[in-house]
Structure 1
Amino acid sequence: MPIDRDQVEHIAALARIALTDAEKEAFARQLSDILDQFEVLQTLDTAGVEPTAHVAGLDTVLRDDEPADSLDAEDTLLNAPRRRGDLFQVRAVLDE
């Protein structure tokens, strides 16, 4: 399934990354190759194969939640690149 340059530019815009012309061409080829491999996988007969969430048979790799005291605001904000009072300050990501 070929991906063209316009689609790569659209994906880059959604991800908010800048790409050079050479990178756009390279990503178009690479993404097309990846999608071609998925088309090959879709041709496989998976009838009788049970769905699985994890191939290693692990039930869960998450720890149990245990209540603990929270960090105080000052300790939490020690390494914040920008802050406003007791809050993290971040760039706006949504236009109003």
Structure 2
Amino acid sequence: MRCGAQTRVGPITEELAFRGLGFYLLEPLGQTPAIVVIGITFGLWHGLVEALPVLVVFGLGLAFLRSRTQSIYPGMLLHAFFNGAALVVAVTV
């Protein structure tokens, strides 16, 4: 059950919060500031110091994807894939 939540529920809720609401609220400041603030906030939100650089870069990429497509759905799919891959690595290593 937890695996399903990590690969589906987490990406959906995080994309709605960060690239949905967060991007909407920050977009009046400009696309670049919105992408940077959302990316850094996304990385910090996870609270994983050792993974912070990867999570910030991933957050920047998802925010950039959101700005280019004007949709959160591609980010949801990529985020779910990323979480699934991270889960496989965590279980097999």
Q: Same fold (TM over 0.5)?
A: no
TM interval, short-chain normalised = 0.3 to 0.5
TM-score by length of 2: 0.33
Higher helix share: 2
TM-score by length of 1: 0.32
Higher strand share: 1
* Largest Rg, 1 or 2: 1
